Structure 1
Amino acid sequence: MTAITESAICTTCPYCGVGCGVTARPDGAGGLEIRGDKAHPANEGRLCSKGSALGETVGLEDRLLAPQIGGQEASWDTALDLVASKFRAAIAEHGPDAVAFYVSGQLLTEDYYVANKLMKGFIGSGNIDTNSRLCMASSVAGHRRAFGTDTVPGLYEDFDQAEVIVLVGSNLAWCHPVLYQRIAAAKSARPDLRVVVVDPRRTATCDLADLHLAIAPGGDAALFNGLLAQIAATGAVNAAYVAAHVTGFPEALAAAQASDPALTGLSDADLAAFYRLWIGSEKVVTVYSQGINQSSSGTDKVNAILNCHLATGRIGRPGMGPFSVTGQPNAMGGREVGGLANMLACHLDIENADHRGAVQGFWQSPAMAPGPGLKAVDMFRAVEAGQIKALWVICTNPAVSMPEADRVRAAIAGCDFVVVSDLTAQTDTAQLADVVLPATGWGEKDGTVTNSERRISRQRAVLPPPGQARHDWQILCDFAARMGWGAWFDYANPAAIFREYAALSGVAGALGRDFDISDLATLSDADYAALAPFTWPQSARKRGGRFFAEGQFYTPDARARMLPIVPRLPQSALSPDTPFRLNTGRVRDHWHTMTRTVKSARLSQHMGEPYLEIHPRDAARLGLGPAVLAEVSNTHGTALLRVLESARVPQGSVFAPMHWTAQTASAGRVDALVPATVDPVSGQPESKAATVRIAPFKAAWYGFAVSVQDVTPRCDYWAKARSKAGWRIELAGRDRPEDWEAFALDLFGRAEAQAITMIDQARGLARVALLQEGRVVAALFVAPEPVAVSRGHVAALLGAPDQPALLAGRAGADRPDPGATICACFDVGVNTVLAAIANQGLASVEAIGVALRAGTNCGSCRPELAALLAQARSAEAAA
């Protein structure tokens, strides 16, 4: 693989931990032409909807182009002088633990390395933590307890060879679509492959499953304890492997045998079917993600899974092993450089004095963190308490993404001094900062990332940095120089940082650690520029491949540890006041707090506003009709969410996505509802088990609006998303305005526009279109119930000449309405699919793909296409 192919730059996607290779070339219109890189082993040319739309997300309309102090533009020298003086003063008066960095799994490894070196080796504090604490810390802790290091034993190619794949707490179809397609392809090629999905919800991933285990919240440890007990009962223990390479088996088995399978909430038949599949097939891969990690017992759940693989010796060989899939593009790289508060670079242990000494000696640093720093939740508690005087947030948005987000927002607002480095000043967190520094983003940065299978790939710059934006490593090095440490941070480029990092990994390797890429410590700048994807380690001791087939664990006696696991239910208990269990997660086409994906119109068409997925029986009992608004609350916060009735969630449980911010919705910050309850080992918050109350939002009116310009409404509920020609906005209010025309003119800031109205006061209906220079610039539709108009059709008329039929809200016979987008990759709507099924006699998802291309790229819409086929067949049978 070369760095440049026919003028297209080979780089790596900045979204999930799959680590897909992409090729990017400027399209001449400010965007990028994006293709999947067929030569990259992680994806072999496949891309999901988000990756395919990357070229639509690099616009500069909201970019921060110069440093700001107190909201006013400043020079870099002035801004960094202020940052250095504030940090220096806080350290001098209160000690090094009075300052903190909160960083991100979206940083490149070189940025991450510099930040970790600066905080732990020069400031002398462990107070650097990362948003990976919110998604991967329990996996890290479980690996370290069992293996001695944070090692992922397997590779993606194991999915191609497995006989059984178990997906636990992982909606792979939406969150890691390329891996989902890889498994789907393996199942198509080998129909005997069996897939099990363990998830309280019936997600899109379940459409691939031979067995769906709708486990009770918190029941995962009990499930795998039951499996371990059954492994022993059926004689499936690999006695030779356990005797040679494992300790703790008797204690782990005794705990498993004492475990109550009723905690799983599953029937005896389902448990028996799962145990038969797992035990009866040697090549088993157990894939787990946030449904396991984001728990107050997440580490124990991880170790319950690892126990089963260790007891059977099904680890480190082709087609078998436990597999943690990461949520961010460089969550793994951050773990490798010691980005977590309780780790050192290169998988060295910060609690180990010899390791601390080795790193300090390598860095020749004046101070060294004496032990772990504050993990994310504790860090923001310390900010709240005034113990942290200066906070630097880099490439993340904790005012939205942290549990108890309202409390975190208030803590940041009350901190003595806050710095934010980001692409934009328009994030919830950046708007609380004293200083905001313009950083480069994907497409402008140069460095490396590590994916879920330990594969290090290059991200390469395709576009120049805009305005005065600087790379994160440069910003940190300039700061370090002002702190008096310039000689230790005098890097010419990312290649120089990478060489130092690779050399340090050789020190770690000599100390018996797994992460060692010291073969690359003398890599030239040219070789770094052309570096092909590779899996670590890469050293004289070991090169790539899998771990632990022959034991050789990274514990003092080189043996794995099996741990006795006692299952624990979620800490937040249901009560008459909060009788529902809230599960949170991602939607198919958006990413984290949408700083990037919100720029793509087609990525907002599938799920355009925050919603609450609730069982129809629960909705009926609460008086919630389809598409109305629900007020979801507990002692920590409140959210207003659109009701989505669905039997895919069990009764008593609800689901809401975590992407919406104060910039994109009036009350969609779902993490405000999540309590800051953490796993005692990993410090990872329990993000999938909050308890909430739900009530109808008493709306006097509902509205839908479109506008060629961005607006922020002043009403009780709103949520906005991009359309191709502007913005789509959902609205609602408790009180009805007296004059809808005046309301519309004020909403859109168009006092001079020509208004065309259709208003029926008696029925509570209003439709207002605004024209300027004969073209539609905005429109508002109001009703006492959720507004029934064709949103895609209305949005498509923005900017068009006067449209007499606009206020009808629906397309005429001469202009078919594609309906809500179902395939974001190729912008195919529901109505288009249904019409093709009816008119062309399409009978399979594959036939839909041939006719419309829908489902032929990332495939994450294939379950919904299958549902449309079933719907069409039902309608035909009933006719």
Structure 2
Amino acid sequence: MDGAGLPQVRSTCPYCGVGCGVLLRPDGAGGLGVEGDPAHPANRGRLCSKGMALGQTVGLEERLLAPRVDGVETGWDTALDLVATRFSETIAKHGPDSVAFYVSGQLLTEDYYVANKLMKGFIGSANIDTNSRLCMASTVAGHRRAFGTDTVPGIYDDLEEADLVVLVGSNMAWCHPVLFRRLAAARAERGTKVVVVDPRRTATCEIADLHLKLRPGTDVALFNGLFAHLREVGALDMRFLLEHTTGFDEAFRAASADQIDATGLAAGDVARFYRMFAATERTVTVFSQGVNQSSTGSDKVNAILNCHLATGRLGQPGQGPFSVTGQPNAMGGREVGGLANMLAAHLDLEDAGHRAAVRSFWSAPAMAESAGLKAVEMFRAVGDGRIKALWIAGTNPAVSMPDADAVRDAIRGCAFTVVSDITARTDTARLADVLLPATGWGEKDGTVTNSDRTISRQRPALPAPGQARHDWAIFAEVGRRMGWAEAFDYRAPAEIFREHAALSKIAGGFGRDFDISGLADLSDAGYEALEPVRWPVSANRTGGRFFGDGRFFTPDGRARLIPVRQAAPATRRSPRYPFRLNTGRTRDQWHTMTRTGLAPRLSRHLAEPFLQIHPSDAETVGLEPAGLARVTSPQGSAILRVLISEDAAIGAPFAPMHWTGETASAGRVDALVAPMTDAVSGQPESKASAVAVTPFEAGWYGFAVSARKPEADTAYWARVRSETGWRMELAGERAEADWTAFARDLFGTGSEPQVFSDAASGVVRLAFTAPDGTLDAALFVSPEPVAVARDHVAGLIGQAAGDVLAARAGGAGFDPGPTVCACMGVGANTLLAAIGTVGPDLDRICEATGAGLTCGSCRPEITTLIDRFAPREAAE
């Protein structure tokens, strides 16, 4: 069945906070065709490489399809009775604060709502936190301090209406590619100026008019200096300050006490930035994880907000501070109070009136009265036994939390742990007493809210596989079995959404920002057909920007300028740990690769965990290009591939956080991260952990391809899928005595291989063929990092073995080279050929090859190839 007769489904991408609309076409055999939705206001039909590969992620090979108790499959009744009983008994014996939920920005708003209601209103504890704590908690704190509520003032259109966009701690080209394309188009069409503030040169810098490569963590000093400069040159909006704000004098005194020298920036660059900001009314400051993920993240946010409040630049087209979130429903989680220190509908947990109103609305028996444990505190409490029953939903904290080894050990030692997820093959799921199969993207039914407050429907295009259930249904059933049948008698997500919307009317009555009461009477059919809509949605207003009228959500209606000072990172460097590790994301992977790891095309660009390090630092510690580095901290260690680049900041190497115990032997980067947090927001410091870097002295390196999943037991390995099977990087401290035996164990075969061995060079190559003569597996070993045409060799699996041991394309074959464009599978050699043919014209090269025409996030890398390899005479 080709699916031609099946209806197209409008849904939403499950990755970053851009919230792109997608059109899904089931193929009738369990697969999906995926396209961007031209009618969705967030992306207007565009998708990034991850979004375009969504169809490759919906297979059932890795899925959890039935409940498991102690590793044994069982029925839902048995599993849910056990969960309800153990949680009830624990609460009865040790009190409500002895249990906790740790949930995820991957959940839909309806899922989040039921979990939050169950914990805060019925169990009576606020011990529910979310992996969004690792993403945007500092923004929440900064917004609440300045505005009175967690309100994002602007909308995506502001990026296209601004004359200056300042990107702070945001690699938008890789982390929010669709927004990056919108900004790049605005720059090309209307001359928008772009300033990037980042210690690392990233792909986003390719469109920057100015890159401020400041010392890590000195954002407060930079923006305090800007604040002082704005007053000095008379760029303040005195009327706005006098009529709509408080706290200017205190904030200005604090700002004036800081020294811009702390940033390490050239005085001329700072002066240029300050002049640009002061002279440009239509200015948007976009900030992301480089600001949030800090022990002073809340102060960084408020330093930025102070500058916009001081100039009155918010709430108008092309003006304002703008936080872009890392997860698809981080905003939805904030709306329902999914953080341990928040109440539903942006109400305040510490406000007795707010608590009483929500308790009455829910008819709740036991409302939480104080903030619960935030993520780092929560897992610390799991480790020391204060938390005795833990439920983790849709996330992988054994990998993603700071001090990940300690978190893994805490979960393993917890008296009772429940994990609801789509797969049993995560580091966290392997630690669970009870595993509950949840529906995944493409099967889920509900809503999400993106970074500019747009609520979109996520609709199912595929049936729930096996016994999988929606997360809201699992939480609701446990609530019923714990004795609250009426409160959790939901039968469809539309019912939950209506309740959520009705509750928001109470928030509106308190004068809060989040009010979608205009959707409270939505019928089931209306919910099914709901178009993207930006909140608020009430009798008073729908959508738009906030604060253009100068009215805020503080008791006196005025915004607060917050005095902040530059502070050192919470972790201290020392002679033993002289570097500060910066962590983040790569272009084509998502979180811990539970979904993106299933799409072969997404692993072709950067296929293994790596350490990007400045050449001077690499020379100091003795690292070689493409070698391996051992990175250690007081918390843990990792072994990472070396990528030497001047893009990295001196003294601050960078490593991505995606690899797990399932995908690499020693690539869990968050095991290195110290569990230091912002005192206000509780968000961990993920950008400045003190580490040591030394060479990993490998006795041999290997590269393997196989039709079946290879299993290694070496000091270093990293494994990803390929279009034809699997590929794997390996290294060990001592060469094997029998490489044939090693290869048989690696590939799980008893076959005799073709062998090439050169004793003088130490190079060994082995190829195993299937009975029909096609290539089944191959291993390439060398004393140095293996030099083979990796994509070419991986593509030979299932083909006639031919000259595979030559490790490069031969005869008429063409090796496209390492993948640069993941969307279209275009390699570096293909691009170099195009450069030689059409010259150094980026647009013509993209037209000729197909690269850079979809999400565009590879265009900076193509530009680098042009700069390095275009014929000099052609470029002049």
Bucket of the pairwise TM-score, normalised by the shorter protein: over 0.9
Residue 846 (structure 2) aligns with: 849
CA RMSD of aligned residues (A): 1.3
Whole-Å separation in 1 of the counterparts to 2:565 and 2:650: 27
Residue 98 (structure 2) aligns with: 98
Residue 863 (structure 1) aligns with: 860
Residue 14 (structure 1) aligns with: 14
Deviation, 1:876, is 6.7
Q: Could you report, residue by residue, the CA deviation over 1:36-90 in whole angstroms, capped at 9, with x for unpaired residues?
A: 0000000000100000110111010010000011111011000111111110111
1:536-685 pair list within 5 angstroms? 536-685=535-684
Confirm or deny: 8 A CA contact 1:217 1:570 kept in the other structure: no
Report the AA paired with residue 762 of structure 2.
G
SS of aligned partner of 1:115: helix
Residue 805 (structure 2) aligns with: 807
Residue 313 (structure 2) aligns with: 314
Alignment partner of 1:492 is 2:469 = no
Report the AA paired with residue 869 of structure 1.
I
Q: Could you report, residue by residue, the CA deviation over 1:328-384 in whole angstroms, capped at 9, with x for unpaired residues?
A: 000000001000000001000000010000000000011110111000000000000
Alignment partner of 1:35 is 2:32 = no
Whole-Å separation in 1 of the counterparts to 2:874 and 2:838: 14
Residue 224 (structure 1) aligns with: 223
Whole-Å separation in 2 of the counterparts to 1:497 and 1:617: 56
Whole-Å separation in 1 of the counterparts to 2:510 and 2:650: 52
Report the AA paired with residue 430 of structure 1.
A
Confirm or deny: 8 A CA contact 1:754 1:772 kept in the other structure: no
Report the AA paired with residue 700 of structure 2.
W
Q: Could you report, residue by residue, the CA deviation over 1:412-451 in whole angstroms, capped at 9, with x for unpaired residues?
A: 0000000000000000000000011000000000000000
853-862 vs 841-850, which moves further: 841-850
Alignment partner of 1:760 is 2:758 = yes
Confirm or deny: 8 A CA contact 2:216 2:652 kept in the other structure: no
Whole-Å separation in 1 of the counterparts to 2:758 and 2:6: 60
Residue 53 (structure 1) aligns with: 53
Whole-Å separation in 2 of the counterparts to 1:829 and 1:41: 32
SS of aligned partner of 2:791: helix
Residue 743 (structure 1) aligns with: 742
Whole-Å separation in 2 of the counterparts to 1:331 and 1:780: 43
Whole-Å separation in 2 of the counterparts to 1:622 and 1:300: 34
Residue 118 (structure 2) aligns with: 118
Distance 1:536 1:5, change over 3 A: farther
Whole-Å separation in 2 of the counterparts to 1:684 and 1:863: 31
SS of aligned partner of 1:663: coil
1:335-414 pair list within 5 angstroms? 335-414=334-413
Confirm or deny: 8 A CA contact 2:614 2:649 kept in the other structure: yes
Deviation, 1:712, is 2.3
Whole-Å separation in 2 of the counterparts to 1:563 and 1:786: 52
Whole-Å separation in 1 of the counterparts to 2:757 and 2:5: 58
1:211-290 pair list within 5 angstroms? 211-290=210-289
SS of aligned partner of 1:486: coil
Whole-Å separation in 2 of the counterparts to 1:304 and 1:541: 32
Whole-Å separation in 2 of the counterparts to 1:575 and 1:27: 57
Residue 81 (structure 1) aligns with: 81
Confirm or deny: 8 A CA contact 2:839 2:870 kept in the other structure: no
Residue 870 (structure 2) aligns with: 873
1:428-443 pair list within 5 angstroms? 428-443=427-442
Confirm or deny: 8 A CA contact 1:24 1:35 kept in the other structure: yes
Report the AA paired with residue 165 of structure 2.
I
Whole-Å separation in 2 of the counterparts to 1:875 and 1:137: 49
Deviation, 1:620, is 2.1
Deviation, 1:461, is 0.2
Whole-Å separation in 2 of the counterparts to 1:512 and 1:711: 59
Whole-Å separation in 2 of the counterparts to 1:232 and 1:422: 52
SS of aligned partner of 1:754: coil
Deviation, 1:754, is 3.0
Deviation, 1:29, is 4.5
Count the aligned residue pairs.
Answer: 872
Q: Could you report, residue by residue, the CA deviation over 1:213-252 in whole angstroms, capped at 9, with x for unpaired residues?
A: 0011111011110011011111111111111110001110
Deviation, 1:27, is 2.6
Deviation, 1:459, is 0.2
Q: TM-score, normalised by structure 2?
A: 0.98
Residue 688 (structure 1) aligns with: 687
Confirm or deny: 8 A CA contact 1:11 1:22 kept in the other structure: yes
Deviation, 1:849, is 1.6
Deviation, 1:594, is 0.3
% same residue: 64
Report the AA paired with residue 24 of structure 1.
L
Deviation, 1:6, is 8.5
Confirm or deny: 8 A CA contact 1:775 1:799 kept in the other structure: yes
Whole-Å separation in 2 of the counterparts to 1:583 and 1:575: 17
Confirm or deny: 8 A CA contact 1:236 1:312 kept in the other structure: yes
Whole-Å separation in 2 of the counterparts to 1:160 and 1:99: 46
Residue 132 (structure 2) aligns with: 132
Whole-Å separation in 1 of the counterparts to 2:532 and 2:594: 27
SS of aligned partner of 1:653: coil
Runs of 4+ aligned residues of structure 1 deviating over 6 Å after TM superposition are 875-879
Confirm or deny: 8 A CA contact 1:457 1:532 kept in the other structure: yes
SS of aligned partner of 2:441: coil
SS of aligned partner of 2:653: strand
Confirm or deny: 8 A CA contact 1:845 1:855 kept in the other structure: no
Whole-Å separation in 2 of the counterparts to 1:669 and 1:317: 43
Whole-Å separation in 2 of the counterparts to 1:23 and 1:612: 37
Confirm or deny: 8 A CA contact 2:455 2:532 kept in the other structure: yes
Whole-Å separation in 2 of the counterparts to 1:54 and 1:5: 21
Whole-Å separation in 1 of the counterparts to 2:535 and 2:5: 25
Residue 456 (structure 1) aligns with: 455
Report the AA paired with residue 71 of structure 2.
G
Distance 1:5 1:587, change over 3 A: farther
Q: TM-score, normalised by structure 1?
A: 0.98
Residue 823 (structure 2) aligns with: 825
Whole-Å separation in 2 of the counterparts to 1:550 and 1:249: 19
Where does structure 2 lack aligned partners over 5 or more consecutive residues? none
Whole-Å separation in 2 of the counterparts to 1:233 and 1:467: 66
Confirm or deny: 8 A CA contact 1:109 1:334 kept in the other structure: yes
Confirm or deny: 8 A CA contact 1:665 1:720 kept in the other structure: yes
Report the AA paired with residue 479 of structure 2.
A
Confirm or deny: 8 A CA contact 1:844 1:866 kept in the other structure: no
Deviation, 1:5, is 12
Distance 1:665 1:354, change over 3 A: same
Report the AA paired with residue 625 of structure 1.
E
Residue 788 (structure 1) aligns with: 787
Deviation, 1:848, is 1.3
22-31 vs 605-614, which moves further: 22-31
Report the AA paired with residue 857 of structure 1.
T
Residue 24 (structure 1) aligns with: 24
141-150 vs 483-492, which moves further: 483-492
Whole-Å separation in 2 of the counterparts to 1:548 and 1:569: 33
Distance 1:5 1:106, change over 3 A: farther
SS of aligned partner of 1:730: strand
